[in-house]
Amino acid sequence: MSSSNPIQNLHIATKCPMCDATYDKEDIKVIGKKDGALSVYLNCRHCKSSVLVFVMINPVGVTSVSVPTDITEDDFEKVRKNETIDCDDVLEMYKFLKDN
């Protein structure tokens, strides 16, 4: 397995579970690696749906769990950077909910 692309030899998901379109390489991003586990984010460019795939690699084999999500790639960057919610975020959400 290549260190630059840990999913290169794993065929985690090749098609979108929502529309059955084939993922392109650019649609698949490793968002986390730790102790033999990978978190992979797949975003379908055709139907715009997203899936999180958690892959655990151990001596017995490979196990994966897929979860459809509405989390965006930007959301992951915020979590990765440990950005906290501040007063402006709360006000922005309040205005959004009030107007919609």
* Count of residues making up the chain: 100
3-class SS of residue 21: coil
What is the distance between the alpha carbons of residues 82 and 64, in angstroms, rounded to a whole number? Answer: 26
Confidence of residue 95 (pLDDT cuts 50, 70, 90): very high
Supply the pLDDT for residue 3.
45
pTM (2 d.p.): 0.64
- Token pair of 61, please? 């084999």
Confidence of residue 12 (pLDDT cuts 50, 70, 90): low
For tokens 């795939």, name the residue: 53
Supply the pLDDT for residue 1.
42
pLDDT digits (tens, 9 = 90+) for 30-59: 888 888 888 889 999 999 999 998 888 888
Element (H, E) at 88: helix 87-99
The gap from C-alpha 98 to its chain's centroid, in whole angstroms, comes to: 29
Position with higher pLDDT, 64 vs 5: 64
Supply the pLDDT for residue 62.
84
Confidence of residue 2 (pLDDT cuts 50, 70, 90): very low
